[in-house]
Amino acid sequence: MSAPGGQAAATVTEVEVTPPRADFLRRFVQGDLGELRVIIAIVVIWAVFQIQEDRFLTSTNLTNLMLQMTGVALISIGVVLVLLLGEIDLSVGAVSGLCASVMAVLSVKHGWSPYTAIAAAVLAGTAIGFLHGMLFTRFGVPSFVITLAGLLAYQGAQLQVLGSTGTINITDEKVVGLTGTFYSDMFGWVLAIVAIAAFALISLNGRRKREAADLPSQPLATIVIRIVLVAAVTLGAVAVLNADRGVPLAVLILMGFALAFYYVTSRTRFGRHIFAVGGNAEAARRAGIHVDRVRVVVFMLASAMAAVGGLMLASRLLAVNQSSGSGDLLLLAIAAPVIAGTSLFGGRGSVWTAILGGLVIQSISNGMDLLALESSWKFMVTGAVLLAAVIIDALARRQRQAAGRV
């Protein structure tokens, strides 16, 4: 009797033990290491454009690239939350333009203080998101239809807000300073050291807590390697920015929102509820999660982030006009997180995909601008990259299903 039991135990042991390389390859194929795939793509893209145009990796161009992606990446952070639910918001571009117009009109035409005007614009975006969430949850109208209607309606509202003026120039120092403020070299180095120390402390403390609770934890060597990589990237980024004009306030705003929403989605009960609803809404409801409330709040946050992104875009362009929030902004805001690994099927993704995907898209656009390629090529290349990312996501999902994972 002992022999069969021993054989069964041996069999179980053989199944559970997976070689590190095989496990790494499995996770890479199934999309668990999507960020690594995107980082490799960024390295390849940068190398190709640097070979074609030696100005691409200069500090001036990389600083401009970061400023160019800030507005879109902020909008994409809100889009990530909606995608985690398995829904979509087609109105974020129009909402960003409308809220930027509200800020400009209140500040320039009505003499409101910049802070009050900015707060009013963000509140307007939040109210729009509340409307979307209520229509979606109360009447069961698909989010695609609701936000598509919003896309049209908010463009008309923007024209109404701007009135006959059409274009409003922004000159207030506080608003312009959102993207026009740069900090000294010393400030950048101190900030980098503090950020690296905080990341190391959080990583090591998290491992200690998991070990104290007898939970599986990552090897210490893996955490040390991750800390070293984060330190290298952070110090390198600060060095590049300091070689130009210094660390921009816009980048700090972007990273601040990214860190805040990363904490919300990965360290709070509400964040776990978002993933649960996106993975299986009915199962989440039976588990006691208030599904409708989660959906309403997510749409409110998405529209609020669209407003924030619109304000940053207006600050950089020094004006708001009838075309603000239009063009390819919606495409880029949705494409960025999808390209970086956030699933269109819901339940899988990270806030960091908004930044990584935005960096991919903006790198392609920036590089083609330096090469003086026509705009038609930008759209075709961006569309091809988006299609490839969706195909990879679908294949990864198929691999997870074949392996018995959701």
Q: Where are the domains of the chain?
A: 35-184+246-402, 185-245
Assign 245 to helix, strand or coil. coil
Taking only the tens of pLDDT, the chain with its 406 residues reads: 444 544 444 444 444 445 555 554 555 444 455 567 788 888 888 999 999 989 999 999 999 999 999 999 999 999 999 999 999 999 999 999 999 999 999 999 999 999 999 999 999 999 999 999 999 999 989 999 999 999 999 999 999 999 887 889 999 999 999 999 999 999 999 999 999 999 999 989 988 888 888 888 888 888 898 899 889 999 999 999 999 999 999 999 999 999 999 999 998 999 999 999 998 999 999 999 999 999 999 999 999 999 999 999 999 999 999 999 888 899 889 988 988 888 887 888 889 989 998 998 899 889 998 988 887 787 788 788 778 777 876 777 677 667 665 5
CATH for 35-184+246-402, among 1.10.10, 1.10.287, 3.30.70, 1.10.3470? 1.10.3470
CA pair distance 229, 236, nearest whole angstrom: 10
Q: What Rg do the C-alpha atoms of the chain give, in angstroms? A: 23
DSSP 126-190: HHHHHHHHHHHHHH---HHHHHHHHHHHHHHHHHHHHGGG--EE---HHHHHHHH-EE-HHHHHH
**Structure tokens of 7?**
């054989």
Contact 175, 116 (CB under 8 A): no
- pLDDT at residue number 37: 76
CA–chain centroid gap for 160, Å, is 30
Q: How many angstroms separate the CA atoms of 103 and 113, rounded? A: 10
User: So what's the pLDDT on residue 19?
Assistant: 55
d(CA 189, CA 384): 39
At residue 333, the 3 state secondary structure works out as: helix
Global pTM value: 0.88
Task: Give buried/exposed letters for 236-266 (b at 16+ CB in 10 A, else e).
Answer: ebbebbbebebbbbbbebbeebbeebeebbe
Query: Is the CB of residue 131 less than 8 Å from the CB of residue 306?
Result: no
pLDDT at 380: 84
3-state DSSP: the chain helix, strand, coil percent, rounded to 5?
A: 80, 0, 20
